[in-house]
Structure formats: C-alpha cells, structure tokens
Amino acid sequence: MKASTFVYPWDVNGDPEAAERIAALGVRQATLAAAYHSTRALTPRHPRHRIVTAEHAAVLYPTDDRWEGRTLRPYAAGDWAPGDAFGEAAAALAAAGLEVHTWVVLAHNSRLGADHPDTSVVNAYGDRYPWAPCIAQPATRAYLVDLAAEAAVRPGARGTELESLGWYGLQHLHAHDKTGGVGLGDAGQYLMALCFCPACQEGYGRQGLDADELAAAVRTALEPVWQGAPDDGGWAGVEKLLGEETAAATRAWRDDTARTLQETAVTAVRAAAPEGFQVLLHADPVTYHVGANPGVDPAHILSVADGVVVPCAGGPGLLTPFAEHRRDDTVIAANFGVVSGMGGSPGTLAADAARARQLGATELRLYHAGLASDGDLDTVRSELAGLGDR
C-alpha cells in the first residue's frame, strides 16, 4: 500500500540529512508544497532554524510570463522559501529515491483577500472572508486555473495533489482565532459559507432566488443557532433552517460552480503536464462541505481526476462513497495525521491503514514528516514496516 508524506521545502532545504531521513520512514513518495497558504511551522530537526513563519500565501518557485499584466497573480515567497525552493527540495528528495508530487493550495489565500477585497467570499451579514476567494468570480477562476497548471507541473514532479479546489467557508484558523464560542454545526457552517458577492448574487438569481431575500432568510435562519439551538445535523438541518426549495437552489448554484472549476483546472493541469502525470484532489464526499477538502460528487470527480485524497482524522468512513465509484486505476488515498501533538495517532497507523484498505483506500498520505517529533517519526517507521508494499 503506497504511502506518501507531506513535506514543505523549508523542511529539506538547508538540512543535508532531511531527504534521507524522510526516505528512511519507508514511504515511496513525498508530496511537496509548491503553492501554500500562510502558516507558522515547527522544523524540529533543522540545523538552522526551529520556526518558519510563512507570512502570506505564496508560490515556492519562480513564476513564468503568463502572469504579466494581470491584476490577480501569485505572490512570491519571502525569506522562508526564496528562489526555487520547491525545485531545490524536489531534487534532494528525488536523489534520496523518493517520487515527488506537488502539493498545491488554491482557493485559500489571505493575502489575495487583503490586497483585492472584492475577490473574497461575503456572507449574509456582509462580513468578508479574506482567506476565502470566491470561486464564482470569473477573474478569480482564471487565476486559480492558471495557478493550478503552473504550480502542479513543476520540473521533476510525477503528479500533483490539488487542495482547496472548491468553496471555502468560515472554518479556517485565521490569526488568533476566536470563533469557537458558538457551535454552528454542519447546517450553520453551510449557511455561514454562503457567498453574497455580486457574482454569487447573480448566480442565485439564475436559480430563481432573490439575493437580498435569501440573505435575509439566512440571517433569520441563523438566529436560533446564535442562541444555542442544537444542530439538527447534515443537509436535513440546512433544509429545516432555510426551507427545502431554497436550500436546494443554493446548493445547485454552488455545486455547479465548484464542479466546473474543478473540471477546468484539471483539464489545464493535464494540458501542461507530461503523459502519465497523476492528478488528485483533496476532497470530501459531501458536496456542500467547504474548506481544504471541498465537497465533491464522488462519481463525477473520479471521472475527472485520477483520484482523491480523503481526510481520515475522524476515521476512514469518508472513503466508502469514493470506493463505490473507483476504477482499477483510481487512487483513493487515506490521509492520516501522524503528528501526535496536533491530534494525530502515529501509533495506530498500521491498524488505521488496514481499516482504510478494507473501505477502499489504495494509498496512504501521512501528515506531516516535517512537523512530527523524532518519537512520532520512529513510530511511523515501525508502523509502516509492517504494511508490506509502501
């Protein structure tokens, strides 16, 4: 069962032992960040630093001339990943015998929202989400598609994993986040993710909805949630709060917007890539879910991409809807956290992998070799040793 671990370029560059250390875990692949959001990360074994602060979303390689004259364009990294940081790390990982795939974060960019406020999701209260570009806007869609094609197909990469290729919502840790005081639940999160920028207002109109009336209905529906009403759970909760017909119309607009963006981005990546280049999406099988693993229709996305990377932090249950639609060559990668300090469970990796395989997983993803402690890495090495083909 092939395993890959996520890695940042700054985990590798400047540490002559990093690539061999990662290969010694028993993984066959490194999924290396080529475009990433802002973060503050530990580097517990690096000889030069212990903390890396990526101040804004950036590409970790030199861009080409496709961006000349365009308002929306990628940001270069600062001193946390200068020059062709991706290329340098990729070369070291390949020299250690690892297959390198790119890791590309797309519709998650606080810097873009700060510099171009009109690109952001706007909720029913008029609050802007600067970390969440609205994927309905034509200029933003064009930016995301070109970014996907450029960042995915880096020299030496054998494939890519596209994260955040869909709607983003409220649930993002933004600076010193203080949004957990009210439990919004699944339904509340959906309503708070509905966008009311001009492009989305027009889109709701094409579904027969008046955008102003819809925004008012969303605010009314959320009042019991703010007062502590229990979450009714799932899509039924959304329908109860908003009404079945209205809820269905919002979902039709959002599902089609995400689906067409995913199709276009994957097509662009394939057009730029060599033959045999693998394209995976980080995905959730519930279409109205938002975030780094945006909701998709399993049958549709597996007809578009080569497979999916599925979050399994809460257990492997999300694998099943994808497994029902897999072909012989479909990749269904179960993504497990192996950083115990971040809620991961490296000591149960072998058991988790076995259960994931029963539910249809064909590969493993391990989050994250650069962030894990020495003890966690020792445990991962031991657990992988018992899995056979890695």
| Structural domain boundaries, residue 370 | 2-179+257-385
Look at residue 136 and tell me if it is in a domain: yes
The answer to the question of residue 156 being in a domain is: yes
Whether 214 maps to a domain, the answer reads no
Give the DSSP letter string of 217-251. HHHHHHHHHHTTPPP--HHHHHHHHH-HHHHHHHH
CA dist., res. 321 & res. 325, Å (int): 7
pLDDT of residue 56: 96
Q: How far apart are CA 99 and CA 31, in angstroms?
A: 8
Q: How many CA atoms lie within 13 A of 73 on its CB side?
A: 12
Place of tokens 């950036």: 58
pLDDT at 227: 86
The pairing of strands 51-54 and 2-7 is unpaired
Q: Is residue 11 part of a domain?
A: yes
Q: Specify if 238 maps to a domain.
A: no
Peptide bond into 368 cis (omega under 30): yes
pLDDT at residue 230 in the model? 75
Q: In this structure, is residue 209 part of a structural domain?
A: no
Residue 206 belongs to some domain of the structure: no
Residue-level pLDDT at 173: 67
The number of beta carbons lying within 10 Å of the beta carbon of residue 16 is: 10
- The pLDDT value recorded for residue 148 is 98
Question: Which residue numbers in the chain have pLDDT < 70?
Answer: 173-180, 182, 388-390
Read off the pLDDT of residues 111-161 as tens digits, 9 standing for 90 and up.
999 999 999 999 999 999 999 999 999 999 999 999 999 999 999 999 999
Q: Is residue 173 part of a domain?
A: yes
The number of helices, as runs of H, and strands, as runs of E, in the chain is: 14, 13
User: Which domain CATH number covers 338?
Assistant: 3.20.20.80
Q: How far apart are CA 99 and CA 305, in angstroms?
A: 19
Structurally, the chain folds into a number of domains equal to 1
